[in-house]
Amino acid sequence: MKLDFCSLSSGSSGNCYYLGSESHGVLIDAGISATSIRKFLMKMDIPMQTIMGVLITHNHIDHIKGLELLTRKYNLPVFTTQRIWKNILTPHRKISPDSIREIPLKQRFHLAGFDIEAFPVCHDAPETIGFQISTQDKKITIATDLGHICQTAALYIKAANLLVIESNYDEQMLVSGRYPHFLKSRIKSDHGHLGNHQTSAFLADNISEDLNIICLAHLSKNNNTPEKVLQTLQQTFSERGIILNGQQRIFILNRDKPTNMISLIE
Ligand SMILES: [Zn+2]
Ligand SMILES: [Zn+2]
């Protein structure tokens, strides 16, 4: 079985990820336009009919911008919790009731040949979740908006073979940047976003031989650079004496353009 992942867009201007086998796939978040999603899938030779659903992490616009059209035009079912649904379904957003699939937290459901489980994370939306998507003996964990890594989230993150985790801001750039004080505090808080040092330290503490692919995601436009993310991770790993084995790869996900397809199983 083939298992491919790619990021169509990652960051505060839009988040959308694809995970698929040779026959089926799912999207995680739809924070870019439905047209961009369709065009990208076409370019990658992935027929829209093979997409079995969209998993939504929370109701912030950078995660749901393309959702309405995606459901109306392509009838895609959307999987998220009842509480997140309540906050997505505002009067001006015309999402067909047929698209709505409510999922419970921490309970497996089956979609597109995958076993999927949603887990809670701490973030400043009414509710935010991460996803663990499993197939055969591989686990993919996606946690892109979280202010700190609580015990529950840590369990799912530590079990991943492919991990998509936020590395939102460089601590120094945020502190010395132009954001107003309240916004800086919000971002740094336990319900905001993960900074480069936070993510790097967690990875250094918890990295296992089974973690093959690390994707650092949701980079801030104003308070981070891909170079800072990589530098912080490499420095943290080298201070702790962590050397990656030949199978382990690190990717920094682009803010506004798709990555190449990343294969977990070729
Ligand atoms: Zn976000
Ligand atoms: Zn958010």
pLDDT range class, residue 1, cuts 50, 70, 90: confident
Alpha-carbon distance of 175 to 185, in angstroms, equals 9
**pLDDT computed for residue 91 by the predictor:** 87
* Residue 68, amino acid: E
**C-alpha 126 to ligand 1 mean position (Å):** 13
Tens of pLDDT, residue by residue over 212-231, are: 999 999 999 999 999 999 99
Alpha-carbon distance of 198 to 23, in angstroms, equals 37
**C-alpha 210 to ligand 1 mean position (Å):** 27
**pLDDT computed for residue 136 by the predictor:** 79
Dihedral (CA of 140, 145, 149, 153) sign: negative
For the chain, give every domain's residue range: 3-265
Average pLDDT over the chain reads: 96
Sheet with strand 162-166: strands edge to edge: 109-111, 114-121, 128-135, 138-143, 162-166, 213-217, 249-252
**C-alpha 198 to ligand 1 mean position (Å):** 17
**C-alpha 242 to ligand 1 mean position (Å):** 30
**pLDDT computed for residue 18 by the predictor:** 98
User: From the CA of 58, which ligand is nearest?
Assistant: 2
Rounded to the nearest 5 percent, the helix, strand and coil shares of the chain are: 30, 25, 40
Average the pLDDT over 38-43 and give the result: 95
**C-alpha 38 to ligand 2 mean position (Å):** 23
**C-alpha 138 to ligand 2 mean position (Å):** 27
Tens of pLDDT, residue by residue over 129-161, are: 999 999 978 999 999 999 999 999 999 999 999
Indicate whether 187 pLDDT > 90.
yes
Residues 168/193, Cβ–Cβ less than 8 Å: yes
Average the pLDDT over 59-79 and give the result: 96
Task: Count CB-CB contacts under 10 A for residue 91.
Answer: 5
Percentage above 90 pLDDT, the chain: 92
Tokens for 63, please give them: 């995660």
CATH topology for 3-265 is Metallo-beta-lactamase; Chain A (3.60.15)
